[in-house]
Amino acid sequence: MPLGDFTTNPRVLVVAALAALVGTFGVGAGVVLLNLIRLCTNLAYFGRFSLADLPLRLSPLGLAAVVVPVIGALIVGLMARYGSEKIRGHGIPEAIEAILLGRSRLDWKVAILKPLSSAIVIGSGGPFGAEGPIIMTGGAIGSLIAQVLPVSDSERKTLLVAGAAAGMTTVFGTPIAAVMLAVELLLFEWTPRSFIPVAVAAIIADVERTALGLPSPLFPFLGGMDTSATALLAWLLIGLLSGLLSGLLTRLVYACEDGFLKLPIHWMWWPMLGGVVVGVGGLIEPRALGVGYANIAAMLQGGVVPTSALLLLVVKAIIWAVALGSGTSGGVLAPLLIMGGAMGAALAHIFPAASPGFWALMAMCATMGGTMRSPLTATFFAVELTGNTHVLLPLITACVTAHAVTVLLMRRSILTEKVARRGHHLAREYRVDPFALTRVQEVMATKVETLPETMTLREVTAFLTDPTTRHPSFPVIDADRRVLGIVSPPAVMAWRRQGIRRDTPLRTLLAGQPVVTAYPDEYLEGIVNRMMALNIGRLPVIARDDGRLVGYIGWKDLLHVRGKIVAEETQRMAFFGIGRGRRAVPAVAE
């Protein structure tokens, strides 16, 4: 194949067209979920069959409101037990698991039960956002559409992620952040074949949500802060504090989950216990219940006093961690924004002067970026939520700082820890395949042991069975060092079983057989694919101009590429005094 920057072919246009359809369905699912949440909230707290956006603090239930989250959690526990267990949790880990381990196949039950269960939980006071469930729901829609079409596993994954991006865009009006979330977290690749369809789905979703009259930006904010050395230090500090908060929240969630695992009752009942904590927390701080978008708006307007913000942070963190640890259904993005924003609002008076709500926005963004370990997603998410591009520099500064803190302090994020606890390791670092950058001539053996074409079958048998013979296979060459083929013990055994005379020379035995070779200037990526397709372990390397043998390459030579990278990394770490005492991986023997 001709070499180029990318391997994408025109089929990406077909997948992009399908992604546009998936985006439309994702918008429909997002709108349905948002309306379901309002409907469930009004039924549970006001006894009204209405889609009006009513604040929970106006509920007439009084102390009886404590039992509302418990009832909602019981319903969801029953749905998970007898419907689909995949509706438990905040959705993104389940989407990651389906992508990496389930060939991007999601059940139709998820597409129906996930938004319904999330609406019931959030509508009954659950301290969650709608983004995680809609990501899972949109992904399920994309997967279901792909499953009835003749597409590959990779294309099915792309359509699943396209549905997730469309759902997130519908809820928040953040198409760029949705695409960045796909790149940083869900796709596990960076190629046009996946990026283009996902971008198409997000764009279509944003156009359609705008046509439906959904607000954008969701939380307008025009404030900012002048750039200076003092401001930079403050941005770094808020990022550091947000990173520490991210680590604390992650550990708190999984500490609660570990606690529920020790209970001697079925997991179906765990959400009810979490509902009790949510109900009590709602009595202490009603603003901690539900999606809490009003809290985000108030903090960005600078209308939350430090003591009130601190109370919201503590109560929201506790009920969110307990409820999420209990295995109920709900998202993490909106709660992270609220808890991070509450910290920023509580500490705003100790930071340099800035526009009201600026430090709350910074902490929101950095807490989200640190907890999810997706700093670019968090930065663009905050910009699109507020419609303010002038805060890009402080936002990326805080997000990168928080990201650095959590990467150094924790091995997993809140989104990947659940997958890891199920016994599946995943890596989120994208690197160019070293085989795509290394040529054959860099790793091939140049001193090649060969066999002459005049050697007979008897002589070959004796040579291969000699204890001093170093390799199992050898290239056969003629007088001009042109390769006639490869001789190995299986080939010799096949010739002998056929009753071929033992004095038959190799040039006769190999006559007419195809010879698979490599060229010195070829890249290893193509060589590896060729060896796998033909199920061979070694290839003779010949010159392009005259076809003469110049080298030999086998699977052990390919391992040298990996060994070289490890050795270079070990030397780099030792230079900074971090990797001293570590032993480099030994070179592979010839």
Q: What is the pLDDT of residue 573?
A: 60
Percent of the chain scored above 90 by pLDDT?
58
Determine the Cα–Cα distance for residues 222 and 179; give it in Å rounded to an integer. Answer: 24
Cβ count within 10 A of residue 333:
28
Greater pLDDT, 581 or 116: 116
Residues 455-490 have pLDDT tens digits of 999 999 999 988 888 888 899 999 999 999 999 898
Fold of 11-211: Clc chloride channel (1.10.3080)
Q: Are 414 and 249 in contact (CB under 8 A)?
A: yes
Buried b (16+ CB within 10 A) or exposed e, 455-477: bbbebbbeebeeeeeeeebbbbb
Q: Please determine, for residue 232, whether its predicted confidence score (pLDDT) is greater than 70.
A: yes
Residues 387-439 have pLDDT tens digits of 999 999 999 999 999 999 999 998 888 888 878 887 787 777 877 888 888 89
**Chain mean pLDDT for the chain:** 88
Buried b (16+ CB within 10 A) or exposed e, 256-276: bbeebeeeeeebbbbbbbbbb
Residues 207-230 have pLDDT tens digits of 999 999 998 899 999 999 999 999
Distance of CA 286 to the CA centre of its chain: 34
Cβ count within 10 A of residue 48:
13
Q: Which CATH superfamily is domain 434-558 in?
A: CBS-domain (3.10.580.10)
Determine the Cα–Cα distance for residues 368 and 381; give it in Å rounded to an integer. Answer: 9
pLDDT, mean of residues 493-507: 91
CATH code assigned to 229-421 = 1.10.3080.10
Q: What is the pLDDT of residue 138?
A: 87
Q: Omega before 192 cis (within 30°)?
A: no
Q: Please determine, for residue 590, whether its predicted confidence score (pLDDT) is greater than 50.
A: no
Closest CA to 162 of 194, 208, 115, 130: 194
Which of the four pLDDT bands, split at 50, 70 and 90, describes residue 354?
very high
Residues carrying CATH 3.10.580.10, the chain: 434-558
Residues carrying CATH 1.10.3080.10, the chain: 11-211, 229-421
Distance of CA 449 to the CA centre of its chain: 47
> pTM, whole model, 2 decimals?
0.84
- The kind and range of the H/E element at 553 are strand 549-554
Structure tokens at 307: 């003591």
Residues 119-173 have pLDDT tens digits of 899 889 888 887 778 888 888 889 889 998 888 888 999 999 999 999 999 989 9
Which of the four pLDDT bands, split at 50, 70 and 90, describes residue 196?
very high
Structure tokens at 561: 């590429």
Q: What is the pLDDT of residue 437?
A: 85
Q: Are 27 and 134 in contact (CB under 8 A)?
A: no
Cβ count within 10 A of residue 557:
21
Q: At what angle do helices 229-261 and 392-409 cross, to 10 degrees?
A: 40
Q: Please determine, for residue 384, whether its predicted confidence score (pLDDT) is greater than 50.
A: yes
